[in-house]
Amino acid sequence: MNRSPYISDAPSVSMIMLKVLLALVPGIFAYAWIYGGGILVTIALATLTALAAEAALLKIRQRPIKPHLMDLSAVVTAWLLALALPPLAPWWLIVVGTLFAIVIAKQLYGGLGYNPFNPAMVGYAVLLISFPLIMTKWSAPLILAQTKLSFLDQLYFIFNQVLPNDIKVDAITSATPLDYLKTHLKLNQTLSEISQAPIFGVYGAKGGEVVTGAYLLGGLYLIQQRIIGWHLPTAFLGALSAIALVFYVANPEHFASPLFHLTSGASLLCAFFIITDPVSGPTTPRGKLYFAAGVGVLTYLIRVYGGYPDGVAFAVLIMNMCVPLIDAHTQPRVFGHEK
C-alpha cells in the first residue's frame, strides 16, 4: 500500500475561495458607498439562500455536508450574483436567482467541479430573461438620486417593495449607462449628446468608475496571491478594448470609447472574478487566452448589437459551451515531444 507523496503544501479549496471573497470586499465597500447599503442585505440574503440550498441538495444526494459547505464555493457564487443584480432588487428575485444558480447550475450537474456553466451567470441570465424590467431598473447612484434612501429604507424596500413617504420609484432609479446608451443610440442621438447625461461620469457611469477601480484592486490582489493567473483578465480586457477601439475609431459618434466599455457594466467584475471560475473555464494557458478573448468580443457585440444592455453573462455562457473544444485543441507541448 502506497500513498506517496506523503507531504503536501497546497492552499485548500476553502482558502482559495476565502481569498476570492476577500478580494471582493473593496468592491463591495465601493458599491455600498455609491449605491447605499442595500447591497449588503442582498449579499447576506444570497449567501443564506445559497448555503441552505446547497445543504439541502447535498442531503438529498447523500453526500457529506460539512466539507462541501466549508469550501465556500457556494458563497462565492452568491456574492457574484448579488453584485451583478440591481442594488434594490426585490428579495424574491435574489432568492430565485440564487436557487437556480446553486441547485440547477451546480448541484444537479454533480456539485463542485462538475458544472459546465458558470453558476452565477446562469442565475443572472435566467433572471434577465424572465424578469427583464426589474433587472434593468437600476437604482441611481446616491449622489445623483433626487431622494436619498437610508439603509433601513433600502432594507424595507428590498423586502416589501414599498417606499417611504410617497417617494416615487422613478426618483430613486435610473437606467444604467449602457442601457441609456442603447436606448438613446436608437433615437439617433450622437455620443457627444448622450455623454452629457448626468449618469455619465468621466468615462463610464458616475460612481461606477469607483466600483470598477475597487474591483481592479481586488483582482490585482488575487493575481499577486497566485489565485488567478494573468492570462484571463489581460485577454478579456485586451480583447474588449481592442474591438471597442476599432469600432470607436471607425465612428466615434456612434460607438462608445474603449474606456467607457471597460468601466461600465460588469466588465471588471467579469475580468477578475467571473471568467476566472476554474470549474467552467479552460485549463490550458493558450485556451485561457482564446476563451477570454472570445468573452470580450462577444460582450462587446451583444452590448452593441444584441438585445440586452450588458452582454457579459451571455458571452460567458456561450464561451463556457466552447470550453471542451478549446481545451482539446490547445493542449500545450509535453516535455520530450515535438508539439
Partner 1 sequence: MLTALYIMLGLALVLGLGLGYAALKFKVEGDPLIARIDAILPQTQCGQCGYPGCKPYATAIANGEADINQCPPGGDAGVHALADLLGVEYKPLNAEHGAPKPKSVAFIDEKTCIGCTLCIQACPVDAILGAAKHMHTIISSECTGCELCVAPCPVDCITMEPIAETPDNWKWKYPVIPIRAVPLHEVK
Partner 2 sequence: MNAILNFFKPDFLKQKRGVHPPEHKAESTQLPIAKLAMPQKLVLPLRQHIGNMPKILVSVGEHVLKGQLLATPECTVSAAIHAPTSGTILSIADEIIPHPSGLPDKCITLIPDGKDQWTNLTSLDWRNAPKEALIASLCTSGIVGLGGATFPTHIKLRSSGKLNIQTLVINAAECEPYITCDDMLMREHAEEIVQGIEIAQYLLGAEKSVIGIEDNKSIAQQAMQAALTGKPISIVTVPTLYPSGDARQLIHLVSGIEIPHDKRATEMGVQVFNVATVRALYRHFTFGEPAINRVVTVTGNVAQPQNFEVLFGTPLTALTQAAGGAKPDTTHYIMGGPMMGFDLPTPEVPITKATNCIIAASPHLFAPPPPAMPCIRCARCAEACPIQLQPQELYWFAKSDAFEKARDYKLFDCIECGVCTYVCPSNIPLVQYFRYAKSEVIAADKAKEAADLARERNEFRLARIEREKQERAQKHAERALGTKAEAAKAASAKKDAANEAPTTEAPINSATDEAAKAAKQAAIAAAIERAKAAKAAADATGLAPKNTAPANPAVQQEIAEIDARRKNVGLANTNEAPMTADAEKQAKIAAAIARAKAAKAEAEAAKQAQNLELKE
Which residues are at the interface with partner 2 (CB under 8 A)?
1-13, 15-16, 64, 67-68, 71, 73, 110-114, 230, 278-279, 281, 283-286, 327, 331-338
3-state secondary structure 10-49: CCCHHHHHHHHHHHHHHHHHHHHHHHCCHHHHHHHHHHHH
Beta carbon nearer to partner 2, 14 or 136: 14
Beta carbon nearer to partner 1, 62 or 192: 62
Pick what 198 binds: partner 1, partner 2, none; C-beta below 5 to 8 Å, kind-dependent.
none
Residue 57 · residue 103 · CB < 8 Å: yes
Positive or negative, the CA dihedral 228, 229, 230, 234 is negative
Beta carbon nearer to partner 2, 67 or 252: 67
The distance of closest approach from Cβ of residue 242 to partner 1 in the complex, given in angstroms and rounded to an integer, is 37
Pick what 332 binds: partner 1, partner 2, none; C-beta below 5 to 8 Å, kind-dependent.
partner 2
The distance of closest approach from Cβ of residue 333 to partner 2 in the complex, given in angstroms and rounded to an integer, is 6
The distance of closest approach from Cβ of residue 1 to partner 1 in the complex, given in angstroms and rounded to an integer, is 6
Site for partner 1 in 200-219 (CB under 8 A): none
DSSP state of 333: P
Q: Does 1 bind partner 1 (CB under 8 A)?
A: yes
Instruction: Specify burial of residue 1 (Cβ count, 10 A radius: 0-12, 13-18, 19+).
Output: exposed
What is the identity of the amino acid at 6?
Y
The distance of closest approach from Cβ of residue 137 to partner 2 in the complex, given in angstroms and rounded to an integer, is 35
Pick what 331 binds: partner 1, partner 2, none; C-beta below 5 to 8 Å, kind-dependent.
partner 2
**22-26: long-range contacts (C-beta < 8 A, 24 or more apart)?**
22/218, 22/221, 23/218, 23/219, 23/221, 23/222, 23/227, 23/272, 23/273, 24/79, 24/80, 24/83, 24/218, 24/273, 25/218, 26/214, 26/215, 26/217, 26/218
Q: Does 8 bind partner 1 (CB under 8 A)?
A: no
The distance of closest approach from Cβ of residue 68 to partner 1 in the complex, given in angstroms and rounded to an integer, is 11
Q: Does 64 bind partner 1 (CB under 8 A)?
A: yes
Residue 297 · residue 249 · CB < 8 Å: no
Q: Does 307 bind partner 1 (CB under 8 A)?
A: no
Residue 108 · residue 65 · CB < 8 Å: no
Q: Which residue, chain included where needed, has cell 452565477?
A: 120
Q: Does 6 bind partner 1 (CB under 8 A)?
A: yes
Residues that bind partner 1 (CB under 8 A): 1-3, 6, 64
